[in-house]
Structure 1
Amino acid sequence: MSGIKLTGVCKSFGAVKVIHDVDIEIEQGEFAVFVGPSGCGKSTLLRMIAGLEETTGGQIRIEAEDVTRREASKRGVAMVFQSYALYPHLSVFDNMAFSLSIARRPKAEIEAKVRAAADILRLQDYLSHKPNQLSGGQRQRVAIGRAIVREPRVFLFDEPLSNLDAELRVKMRMEIARLHRQIGATMIYVTHDQVEAMTLADKIVVLKAGIVQQVGAPLELYRNPDNMFVAGFIGSPAMNFLKARVTSAAAGQLTVELEDAPGVPFDVPARAGVPLGEGIFLGVRPEHIALGDREGGVPLKATAEFIEELGGIGYLHALTATGAEMTVECRGEERPHPKQAIRLSLAPKEMFAFSQRGERLR
């Protein structure tokens, strides 16, 4: 059964269309993440599902019910925002109980639901505290607890970790993942951070300029992107892109030469039918590039720029002769020095071919 189904959903502000005919189906109990750069429409789409933004066209269904024109309070959703939006004069208990108190629920019911949510979120020892006595992560857990006590059909998270420092973000990601496993509710999470998306999601929806680029499981998008935008956005560090030219084509593969390595033809997996001589882009991830020569690898000359040292792993940033930026994953190898001429070896079977328009050549 579908938890949420969007059919032809669009949004316009006057003559400006910001969400373009979105079709998405999120299964009941699934954790979906809307991801994309700032301004791509992910928060607008989330607010449309919540009922906080009017839907210009299309249909939104929650558990098979059409809620497109239904008031936000009657959709059965609960939203957790980037700002904690806690009442500073109320205790943790009263903040979590607020919506139930307003609805005049029995005191025994309020007590049971708040304490059950506090147990889930490990807030039992903080129920008498005020928000200014809590850490940022604890405040966000209180905001989530306020949503839990409402027992919504769908949880909506709008960049809830953006105000936290890097270490606390990692901990809160684990908390949210644990929460989803524990309560099994349908959740939609908005972020511009693709690491959060890859960590949390059962399903990722990649958006660009209000248009869905691809929908799929995290590793599916990583291993099989539909276009250059998805290929470059999913994965950290990002995929490298190099210009190439098609020299011949056969069933299931293309023979190409890199602009940075003319006269060195090699085969890449891609569909036939690309005109000979046509320019394309080749994508290769940092982990599929080696320093020095490698058997079966495509040689490429470059100049080292700098190294990101992360302990057991490092990321070498380099430039080719044509100015193409390359990131190379280094594990255990001797690190080159800045401005040092280096030789790279690319794995051709791990490359992705894209047309000049950025479409995947499958």
Structure 2
Amino acid sequence: MSGIKLTGVSKSFGAVKVIHGVDIEIGQGEFAVFVGPSGCGKSTLLRMIAGLEETTGGEIRIDAEDVTHKEPSKRGVAMVFQSYALYPHLSVFDNMAFSLSIARRPKAEIEQKVKAAAEILRLSDYLDSKPSQLSGGQRQRVAIGRAIVREPRVFLFDEPLSNLDAELRVKMRMEIARLHRQIGATMVYVTHDQVEAMTLADRIVVLKAGVVQQTGAPLELYRNPDNMFVAGFIGSPGMNFLKARVVPGSGDRLTIELHDAPGVPFEIPARTGPAVGEEIFVGVRPEHITLGEREGGVGLDVTAEFIEELGGTGYLHALTVTGEEMTIECRGEERPQPKQAVRLTLAPEEMFAFEGSGERLR
């Protein structure tokens, strides 16, 4: 097993800088997920670790060895792509054995490694099949098996589930999580799907425009985001953001009022902040909003727009008086109708405060 350390890593395509001085340390045996919107640089960063993209600046170390300028084949990494990249004319066995055959490994060794990987991935019954005879999930398992037989120092996954349907993605997430527990290897996984990130990761690295916004355990990022981008990206549905202003208060906590509820000041858990009169944003997650009036909360009137029905839980999409969009988790039998006026209660102790720039006020 090997750890990965990136120090001041940057990447430019001509005059365009796409990765800006990234510093990341991934421990041995960790499952790290790079997550962010399309174009944020996560796949480019993964390809730099693999050696498929040259680094413009900085250093990449695997197991303390400087691999910044080494050939991909000499880094001890194996990459799994979203397109599977299987040879259609070869059997499952031959696809998984391909790299070992090219390296002229003994036949007995090849057979032992392929069969062991097939057992782990539950592919033993398909070794004589061609890729065209397999489902999408089985093909992706073959691609993973091809990586396993190489016994790499690090596994790299580039959005491996994006070509699968929703049900298969859920199953394959469980397969990959089980595989990590079973072999204990260092894995780096790229996705734009934050649900995948929350499900799989020991450590999440959130990227925006080539800059690391925050790293940490999934629930750490969920409960303690550093800025509005992380707060809005981590969590499904995302956090609600409402405009507010700082008003005079008597305590050592921040006293504010919402633009959508003027004249109703309340305190939130932030001890430092801008001066009275300055504009800020308040964030609150859908599960920390209740329908109806509740004692000790902040009341807010909205208009129901749409109900996203999931069975036991539903999500109300609504508009505030000033036109701000909100999502509210609905439990039990309560389901407002579209265009219905709804009274909400927000829990101040569960709110987050952000400067106008998006940085968290603590």
TM class by shorter-chain length?
over 0.9
**What SS does the corresponding residue of 2:85 show, helix, strand or coil?**
coil
1:255 matches 2:264: no
Cα distance in structure 1, aligned partners of 2:334 and 2:253:
35
Residue of structure 2 equivalent to 1:209: 209
Amino acid at match of 1:359: E
Partner of 2:323: 323
Q: Write out per-residue CA displacement over residues 22-64 of structure 1, whole angstroms, 9 at most, x where no aligned residue.
A: 0000000000000000000000000000000000000000000
Matched AA of 1:132: S
Alignment correspondent of 1:32? 32
1:343 CA displacement: 0.4
The one-letter amino acid paired with 1:178 is: R
User: Secondary structure, in 3 states, of the residue corresponding to 1:335?
Assistant: coil
Q: Equivalent residue for 2:341? A: 341
Work out the CA distance in 1 between the residues paired with 2:296 and 2:351. 13
Match of 1:304 in 2: 304
Distance in 2 (CA, whole Å) between partners of 1:208 and 1:36 is 6
CA pair 148-250 structure 1, distance change in 2 beyond 3 A: farther
SS class of match (1:264): coil
Match of 2:62 in 1: 62
Q: Distance in 1 between matches of 2:21 and 2:145?
A: 34
Conservation of the 8 A alpha-carbon contact between 2:247 and 2:255: yes
Name the SS for the 2:99 alignment partner: helix
Question: How many angstroms apart in 2 are the aligned matches of 1:150 and 1:322?
Answer: 58
**How far apart, in 2, do the equivalents of 1:40 and 1:250 lie?**
43
The alpha-carbon deviation at position 86 of structure 1 amounts to 0.4
What is the Cα deviation at residue 272 of structure 1? 2.5
Question: Aligned partners of 1:21, 1:132: CA distance in 2, in Å?
Answer: 43
- Which residue does 1:179 correspond to in 2? 179
Contact 2:246/2:254, CA 8 A, preserved across alignment: yes
- Specify whether residues 298 and 19 from structure 1 end up closer, same or farther in structure 2 by C-alpha distance, changes over 3 A only: same
Distance 1:250 1:217 in 2: 36
| 1:73 aligns to 2:67 (yes or no) | no
CA distance in 2, matches of 1:347, 1:248: 20
Partner of 1:113: 113
Give the superposed CA RMSD: 1.0
Describe the SS at the equivalent of 2:245.
strand
Contact 1:246–1:276 (8 Å) recurs in 2: yes
Inter-CA distance 129–277: structure 2 relative to 1 (3 Å threshold) = same
> What SS does structure 2 have at the residue aligned with 1:196?
helix
How far apart are the structure 1 equivalents of 2:249 and 2:223? 23
Q: What is the percent sequence identity of the aligned residues? A: 85
Cα deviation, residue 274, structure 1: 1.6
Q: Which residue of 1 aligns with 2:6?
A: 6
In the other structure, the counterpart of 1:51 is: 51
State the SS of the aligned residue for 1:114.
helix
| 8 Å CA contact 2:254, 2:273 repeated in 1 | no
Q: Distance in 2 between the 1:295 and 1:88 partners?
A: 64
Q: Name the SS for the 2:195 alignment partner.
A: helix
Read off the aligned partner of 2:352 and give its amino acid letter.
F
* Residues 223-263 of structure 1: CA deviation (Å, up to 9, x unaligned): 00000000000000000000001013577520100000000
The structural deviation recorded for 1:295 is 1.2
How far apart in 2 are the matches of 1:95 and 1:78?
14
Contact kept? 1:252, 1:271, Cα under 8 Å: yes
Structure 1 residue 120: Cα displacement = 0.3
2:127 & 2:55 partners in 1: Cα distance? 38
Aligned twin of 1:191: 191
1:273 offset after TM fit, Å? 4.2
Structure 2 counterpart SS, 1:168:
helix
Q: 2:225, 2:114 → 1: CA distance? A: 43
1:270 match: 270
Residue 2 of structure 1: how far off its partner (Å): 6.5
**Other-structure match for 1:358:** 358
Distance 2:304 2:132 in 1: 48
Asked whether the equivalents of residues 2 and 154 of structure 2 are also in contact (C-alpha less than 8 Å), the reply is no
Letter in 2 for 1:289: I
Q: Which range moves more in the overlay, 84-93 or 272-281?
A: 272-281
* SS state at 1:329 partner: strand
Work out the number of aligned pairs and report it. 362
Distance 2:55 2:166 in 1: 35
- Find the aligned partners of 2:250 and 2:151 in 1 and give their Cα distance: 57
Unaligned runs of 5+ in 2: none
Q: Distance in 2 between matches of 1:280 and 1:56?
A: 38
Please tell me whether the aligned partners of residues 137 and 164 of structure 2 are also in contact (alpha carbons under 8 angstroms).
yes
Question: Shift in Å at residue 106 of structure 1?
Answer: 0.1
**SS state at 2:295 partner:** coil
Runs in 1 of length 4+ with deviation above 6 angstroms? none
Q: Is the 8 A contact 1:2 1:25 kept in 2?
A: no
Query: Take 2:192 and 2:274, find their aligned partners in 1: how far apart are those partners?
Result: 34
Query: Counterparts of 2:147 and 2:227 in 1: how far apart (Å)?
Result: 37
TM-score when scaled to structure 1? 0.99
Rounded to whole Å, the distance in 1 between the matches of 2:267 and 2:220 is: 23
- Aligned to 2:24, the other structure's residue is in SS state strand
